[in-house]
Structure 1
Amino acid sequence: MRGVPPTPPAGVTYDKDGPLLRIVGQFRGFLSGPRDLGTDGAELDRLIARQRDFFAARGEAVEWKTRAHDTPADLTRRLRAAGFVPEDRETVLIGRAAEMAVQESVPPDGVTLRRVTADADMRRIAAMESAVWGQDRGWLADDLIGRVAAAPDEIAVYVAEADGEVVAAAWLAFRAGTDFASLWGGSTLAAWRGRGIYRALVATRAALAAARGVTYLHVDASDDSAPILRRLGFTAVTTTTPYVWTPEASGDR
């Protein structure tokens, strides 16, 4: 699951720097490595600095995705020393698609679930996400639009609507060559939480994954979502924390 992702959207490129996968052209850069980076000490510091300097030259932020069981153990300390700042830790959970597909998939009265592909719907999703998180997530519309356009069979985007308003959204990303698909999104407007919408979106996506022959579902879950997913039968296997470097935080322009 850490390898090169599916088909990149237009304008997004994948390359390697030593053990690292580097993704360029998204709303911010992205870095991920194998469980064991195979390097440490001064060599690791140089690898980290090279990524920071690469994105500094582009004037872009970059996320280095870490997992709790990764080595070397001092990777996160070295990332901090290089100016990378941790964001919220998430729990990595795994569940069997067929088992999740038989969970309750009926949304509450007045709410309908719909798979969407239109650009306008992606912008509605981004507006809803911006309201949920209290920050501008307009970049999400461009990201989803690009992914659907590049490889419509590799992503399935769903909205939950009430009276024409998007009250929740979530998507499913397939990973060819593996037994996994990943659940993303799942944000719900505050007034609509606790009504089973999140569970319905999980079951709907699980049913599609199972129909496509996917064995397992993977989720990087927030502290709000992880308890729900555990109750549905997902198992926590580790945690993941993004370490982010931004030009503004470092005083670069």
Structure 2
Amino acid sequence: MNNDETRAVFDRRMRRGLRPDTPTARVEHTGGVVRQTGSPDDWNGIVWSDLDERGADAAIAEQVRHYGALGLEFEWKHYSHDTPADLPARLAAAGFVPEPPETLLVAEVAEQPTEVRLPPGVRLVPVTDEAGVDLVARVHALAFEQDSARFRNRLLTQLSEDPEHLVVLLALAGDEPVCAARMELHAGTGFASLWGGGTAPAWRGKGVYRALVAHRAGIAAERGYRYLQVDASDQSRPILERLGFAALSTTTPYLRAVTG
């Protein structure tokens, strides 16, 4: 895989070619950015920008006005290869707060192992209903130490409205959820994106996350997708790189709170 070429394909298909991820959201190409706007439970924010030093501040201010008028918190998803080079400083000056950076990792589906090896007593089950989503939200809150209410609502909407392009999995030890993960299949792009993989602290380092990656890679292969994409934390990056994922960029969420 040529990393520069693959990053260009990712930018073109997954960022500039963004499609709404729920029925209540819309995507707009405006003022040098590609943005999604939806309900408070949707992901709202900028996924692509093509800005220069002269127009960057005005473009940032316009997005602040847009989401502010709707009373929405939003995210500017910045990638380290975006321009201008000082865009992070400009976002910070406009009141955005950076979250921890993640690494954009991509792998060829055909090169991924698909054999699922789980610890004794652990099984994988698909999530298709509200009861399953509640278990996923419980693991999410435990693994990431975050409130999971908005995440739960968004996941329910996605499962209800577009189950064909979403795979949600739980790893259970007996009846106790120990890990949860999902995969979004982006039709027409060649990319399947892996999300979650949050593992309860007592079950980390036992191969559960790796098994969930393998299971999802198998599904992506069956459905004809070429690439797997992950925004990886420092915890998951070493595992994925050992599996052959290549680092293409660094991505940092810049959050802008609702202001009165």
In the superposition, the TM-score normalised over structure 1's length comes to 0.91
Structure 2 residue runs without a partner (length 5+): 1-13
2:73 is aligned with 1:58: no
2:26 is aligned with 1:13: yes
2:139 is aligned with 1:128: yes
What's the offset of the Cα at 1:27?
4.3
Q: Match for 2:22: what amino acid?
A: P
Distance 2:191 2:85 in 1: 27
Number of corresponding residues: 245
Q: Contact conserved, 1:168 with 1:187, CA < 8 A, in 2?
A: yes
Q: Contact conserved, 1:48 with 1:82, CA < 8 A, in 2?
A: yes
Q: Match for 1:45: what amino acid?
A: D
Other-structure match for 1:162: 173
Other-structure match for 2:208: 197
Cα RMSD after superposing both structures: 1.6
Aligned counterpart in structure 1 of residue 44 of structure 2, from 21, 24, 29: 29
2:99 is aligned with 1:84: no
Report the secondary structure of 1:2's partner residue.
helix
The 3 A distance-change label for structure 1 pair 148 and 101 is: farther
What's the offset of the Cα at 1:82?
0.5
The alignment-based identity, stated in percent, is 42
The 3 A distance-change label for structure 1 pair 184 and 161 is: same
Other-structure match for 1:231: 242
Q: Contact conserved, 2:32 with 2:59, CA < 8 A, in 1?
A: no
Q: Match for 1:132: what amino acid?
A: A
Q: Match for 1:16: what amino acid?
A: H
Q: Contact conserved, 1:91 with 1:240, CA < 8 A, in 2?
A: yes
Alignment of 1:167-246 (within 5 A): 167-246=178-257
Distance 1:7 1:117 in 2: 21
Distance 1:117 1:240 in 2: 30
What's the offset of the Cα at 1:226?
0.1
Distance 2:131 2:32 in 1: 38
Please list the CA deviations of residues 85-111 of structure 1 after superposition, one character each: whole Å capped at 9, or x if unmatched: 111000111112122233x41211111
Other-structure match for 2:80: 68
**Runs ≥4 in structure 1, deviation > 4 angstroms?**
none
The 3 A distance-change label for structure 1 pair 113 and 124 is: same
2:148 is aligned with 1:137: yes
Distance 2:190 2:179 in 1: 27
Aligned counterpart in structure 2 of residue 40 of structure 1, from 53, 76, 86: 53
In the superposition, the TM-score normalised over structure 2's length comes to 0.89
What's the offset of the Cα at 1:59?
2.4
Distance 1:45 1:6 in 2: 26
Report the secondary structure of 2:120's partner residue.
coil
Structure 1 residue runs without a partner (length 5+): none
